[in-house]
Structure 1
Amino acid sequence: MTARIFKPAKSAMSSGQAKSREWVLEYVNDTGREVDPLMGWTSSDDTQAQVRMRFATKEAALDYAKDHGIEAVVADPKPRKPNVRAGGYGENFATNRRGAWTH
């Protein structure tokens, strides 16, 4: 059984970093997925593919995989440039604005 260890990306729905600071160990689906002919749902016989474990550090995830005999592949995250504006959100309501504020 193989697994993938990675750090998830932040949600596209918000600018927050929730649930993106932990490392995730996720099993790779060994069997292919099948489409149910009646309902059209996608299913698989591999229940391990549903397992997703979270760890505080990459080392903890690697130690868990090693202790349980799991072959793991680590995907290191790409560094992200911080998106910080000089005035922040308050700049939208500044009284010393030089031009007209429009959307």
Structure 2
Amino acid sequence: MSEIKQLDVTIMGREFRVACPVEEETTLLQAVALLDEKMHEIRGSGKVIGIEKIAIMAALNIAHEYLHVDAGGFDIAAYKRRIDRINQVADAALQEQSELF
């Protein structure tokens, strides 16, 4: 059984405490960032008013995108995690190089 961690996250300026397995923390934080970004985009359009309606529209947009991605068998979240890891490795290598000079 995996360890469960409590995380405090912020979406649209509101604080939420959520539980997730430790090994899923990064993915959860990515999901929070995606949801927050979508909700800000919807609010910024000025077409939808009310936090609940904005949340529903964001959920529908994300679900729609997921269904299109899933239909092709392409796991974008896995690729994003791989890209993030590559960026971390590259940043670490560049940091070591800058310390040489």
| Higher helix content, 1 or 2 | 2
TM-score clears 0.5? no
TM-score, reference length from structure 2: 0.22
| Higher strand content, 1 or 2 | 1
